[in-house]
Chains A and B, each alone.
Chain A
Amino acid sequence: MTQAADNRTDLSPETGAGIIGVHHVTKRFPGVIAVNDVSLTIHPGEVHVLLGENGAGKSTLVGILAGLQEPDEGHLTLNGRQTRLASPADSLEAGISTVFQHSMLVPTLTVLENLTLGAPWYQRPPRARIEARMAELQREFALSLPLDAVTGELSLGQQQQIEIARALLRDSRVLILDEATSMLTPQGAQELGARMQKLVQSGLAVIFITHKLAEAYRFGHRISVLKQGALAGQMGPEQLGAMTEDQAVDEIVRLMFGRESGAGTAEQRQSSARDETLLRVEGLSTQGDADVLGLADVSLSLRAGEILGVAGIDGNGQKQLAEALAGQRPLTAGRVELEGADITGASVAQRRRRGLRYLTDDRLEEGSIAAFPISENTVLKDIGQPPFWVNGVERPSRIAQHARDLIAKFNVYTPGETTPIGRLSGGNIQKVLLGRELSGEARVVVFNKPTYGLDLQNIEASRRRIAEIAGRGMGVILISTDLDELMALSDRIAVMEGGRIRGVVKNDGSGEALRLRIGRMMAGEEEREEQPAPDERKETTA
Chain B
Amino acid sequence: MSGLLTEAFLSSLLTGAIVAAIPMLLAGLGEQMSEKAGVLNIGIEGMMLMGAYLGFFVAYETSSLWMGFLGGMLGGALVAVVMAVLCVWLGLNQIVIGIGLTLGAEGLTALLHHFQFSRTYPRLPAPERLDIPGLTDLPVIGPSLFGRHLIVYLAVLAVIVLAALYRRTNLGMTLRAAGERPAALDVAGGNVLGIRVVAVLFTGAMAGLGGAYLANIGAGLFIPFMTGGAGFIGIVLAMLARGRPLWVLIGALIFGAALSLTTALQVAGSNIPTDVIQMLPFAAVMLVLVLFGRRAKLPSALAASYERGAR
Contacts and interface: CB of A to CB of B under 8 A. Distances in A.
A109 B187 contact: no
B174 A92 contact: no
A116 interface: yes
Rank and list the top 8 A-B pairs by shortest CB-CB distance, nearest first: A118-B188, A118-B189, A117-B188, A89-B189, A121-B171, A118-B190, A68-B309, A113-B173
A92 B186 CA distance: 11
Q: What does DSSP make chain B's interface, helix, strand, loop or mixed? A: helix
A109 B176 contact: yes
Nearest to A421: B311
Interface string B296-311: 0001000000001101
A106 B176 CA distance: 8
Interface in B147-204: 168-171, 173-177, 180-181, 183-191, 195
Nearest to A123: B170
Given A122-B171, A125-B173, A420-B311, A117 B185 contact: yes
Given A66-B187, A118-B189, A124-B168, 12 more contacts: A88-B189, A89-B191, A98-B187, A104-B183, A104-B184, A105-B184, A106-B181, A106-B185, A114-B184, A117-B190, A120-B170, A121-B174
Interface string B276-311: 000000000000000000000001000000001101
Contacts of B168: 124
Contacts of B181: 104-107
Interface of B: 168-171, 173-177, 180-181, 183-191, 195, 299, 308-309, 311
Most chain B beta-carbon neighbours within 10 Å: one of A114, A117, A166:
A117
B173 A88 contact: no
Most chain B beta-carbon neighbours within 10 Å: one of A69, A100, A113:
A113
Nearest to B186: A88
Contact of A109 (B171, B177, B195, B311): B177
Contacts of B169: 121-125
Q: What does DSSP make chain A's interface, helix, strand, loop or mixed? A: loop
B36 to A, nearest CB: 11
Given A88-B189, A89-B189, A123-B170, A117 B195 contact: no
B34 to A, nearest CB: 15
A69 B174 CA distance: 23
Interface string A80-113: 0000000111001100001010011111110001
A166 B189 CA distance: 12
A422 interface: yes
A117 B168 CA distance: 14
A423 interface: yes
Interface string A123-135: 1110000000000
Interface string A413-428: 0000000101100000
A100 B187 contact: yes
Nearest to B174: A121
A126 B309 CA distance: 29
Nearest to A424: B311
Contacts of B175: 121
A63 interface: yes
Contacts of A145: none
B171 A117 contact: no
Contact of B184 (A106, A116, A123, A124): A106
B306 to A, nearest CB: 12
A341 interface: no
A104 B299 CA distance: 16
A119 interface: yes
Contacts of B311: 370, 420, 422-423
25 contacts: A68-B309, A87-B186, A88-B187, A89-B189, A89-B190, A92-B188, A93-B189, A98-B187, A100-B187, A104-B183, A104-B187, A104-B188, A105-B181, A106-B177, A108-B180, A109-B177, A116-B170, A117-B185, A117-B190, A118-B188, A120-B170, A121-B175, A121-B195, A124-B169, A166-B188
A166 B308 CA distance: 21
Contacts of B185: 106, 117-118
A92 B189 contact: yes
Interface string A53-90: 00000000001001011000000000000000001110
A68 B127 CA distance: 54
B209 to A, nearest CB: 22
Contact of B188 (A88, A120, A422): A88
Nearest to A126: B170
B176 A108 contact: yes
Contacts of A113: 173, 177
A66 B168 CA distance: 30
A46 to B, nearest CB: 24
B268 to A, nearest CB: 47
A164 B91 CA distance: 32
Contacts of B188: 88, 92, 104, 117-118, 166
Interface in A301-333: none
B308 A68 contact: yes
A238 B86 CA distance: 56
Nearest to B195: A121
A121 B188 CA distance: 13
Interface in A416-459: 420, 422-423
A59 to B, nearest CB: 10
